[in-house]
Copies of this chain bind each other. A is one copy, B any other.
Amino acid sequence: MTLIVQKYGGTSVGSIDRIKAVARRVVRTHEAGAEVVVVVSAMAGETDRLLRLAAQTVDRPAGRELDQLVATGEQVSIALLAMAIEDRGHQARSFLAHQVKILTDDNFSRARILSIDPAAILDRLGERKIAVVAGFQGVDRDGDVTTLGRGGSDTTAVALAAALRADVCEIYTDVDGVYTTDPHVCPAARKLDRISHDEMLELASLGAKVLHIRAVAFAKKFGVPLHVRSSFVDGPGTWIAAEEDCMESAPITGVTYAKDEMRLRVMGVPATATAARDIIAPVSRAGLRIDVLVQGASVEDFCDISFTVPKAEAQQAKELVEHAADDLGAVGVELDGPVAKVSVVGVGIRTHTEVPAIVFETLAAKDIPVLMAATGEIKISVIIDERRLTEAVQALHEAFDLAHGSAGCEEL
């Protein structure tokens, strides 16, 4: 029998009417003969409400009690959904993390799943019941409630699918799949039928909002096929599967971007083995997120080191770097931007060596200067002036013929 894990996010269960709609869809899947395990998030807005209560109580809510608090959000959702399913004449059973049980470490608010015992759920499925599991939460070895951090419900769903050896993990969201790029930026964007886990990892980490990166990494590790679908319209979405199961032959799967970054350049750094570390360490240790980092080739024993940081943290990063640059005897520090990062992603980059050339030629033809560039195994990222972002995304989307699916492959 087919075993399907379905995950519905906060928007999909954001009201009683939507919870009833989810129940209808779950029951339909069940009536079609599948065994169904549903993972749900808190109703949209509920987690924020709970966080506000915590913030009114103490200045910096954190730790065990915060997780004990916010975990109630998913508990409300599973109970209401189980009721709505039973109201449609099917048997349902809601599960909290400790009832499953989903064992995590004890890093509150960002716990990691260690193991899942599927026995309780399998027992219920054997009775033809529908299992409804609270996403986002776990339980540590002491029996304390933990939460998994942002995107935690996606991770719960994938981990459950792995533990239950589910045939598919369906992620229901408010978009109908994964696109070749952001349709708001590039109207020619096309929904992908299929994408590999690795490609999705790059797209997710670079700003595509449909699915959390940890969940994709989990799915890749355990070989769980994901299916990203809309909870509001019917029809297939995008399958995320092992690379060998991805038949699209185009070298590039999508174009993604990130905004609101600034570039920090440290010029004339004495080119020693530890220079980059000395520049970067204070920034990292301060908890600031460093993205694309480029160390230029040294000229006369001096080199430039550039990297991007989120706009909100740029000034703090600059001050930290200035200290380090002074100590090293560097020439100077410059902050410029805002800049944007545009990336082309695709497993075909491994074999299609001409992809970087096409990226640079395309941007040059549009007169868009590339400020920095970094290449990975299946992605190429360029840093450009944020004002040229739309133009760059559209040009690259067209250059790789993404609007027409696999057709672009032969031309390259």
Footprint of B on A, CB under 8 Å? 16, 19-20, 50, 53-54, 56-59, 61, 64-66, 68-69, 71-72, 75-76, 78-80, 82-84, 86-87, 92-94, 96, 98-99, 143-145
Q: CA separation between A61 and B87, bound complex, in Å? A: 9
Residues in chain B near residue A69, CB distance under 8 A: 75-76, 79-80, 83
Q: Complex formed: what's the CA distance from A92 to B69 in Å?
A: 14
In the complex, residue of chain B having the shortest beta-carbon distance to the beta carbon of A143: B99
A54-B80, A75-B72 are contacts. A86–B98 as well, Cβ < 8 Å?
A: no
Question: By CB atoms of chain B within 10 A, which of A59, A65, A66 has the most?
Answer: A65
Contact A16/B72 with A58-B87, A83-B58 known, Cβ cut-off 8 Å: no
Q: Across chains A and B, which 7 residue pairs bring their CB atoms closest together, nearest first? A: A69-B79, A72-B72, A68-B79, A58-B87, A16-B56, A65-B82, A65-B79
11 contacts between A and B (CB under 8 A): A19-B57, A20-B57, A57-B80, A58-B83, A58-B86, A65-B83, A65-B86, A68-B78, A68-B94, A71-B75, A99-B143
C-alpha gap A59/B87 in the complex (Å): 8
Write out the residue numbers on chain B whose beta carbons fall within 8 Å of the beta carbon of A66.
79, 83
Copies in the complex: 2
- Give complex CA distance A86, B144 in Å: 17
Instruction: Report chain B residues within 8 Å CB of A143.
Output: 98-99
- Rounded to whole Å, the gap between the CB of A61 and the closest CB of chain B is 6
A144 to B143, CA, bound (A): 15
- Whether the Cβ atoms of A75 and B76 lie closer than 8 Å is no
Q: How far is the CB of A113 from chain B (nearest CB, A)?
A: 19
- A144-B93 Cα distance, complex, nearest whole Å: 10
CB distance from A26 to the nearest CB of B (A): 14
Minimal Cβ-Cβ distance residue in B for A59? B87
User: Across the interface, which residues of B come within 8 angstroms of A20, CB to CB?
Assistant: 57
Closest Cβ–Cβ distance, residue A240 to chain B (whole Å):
32
A71–B98 alpha-carbon span in the complex (Å)? 15
A54 cross-chain contacts in B, Cβ below 8 A: 79-80, 83
A134 to chain B: closest residue by CB: B68
A281 CB, min distance to chain B CBs, angstroms: 33
A68 touches B82 (CB 8 A): yes
Closest to A53 in B: B80
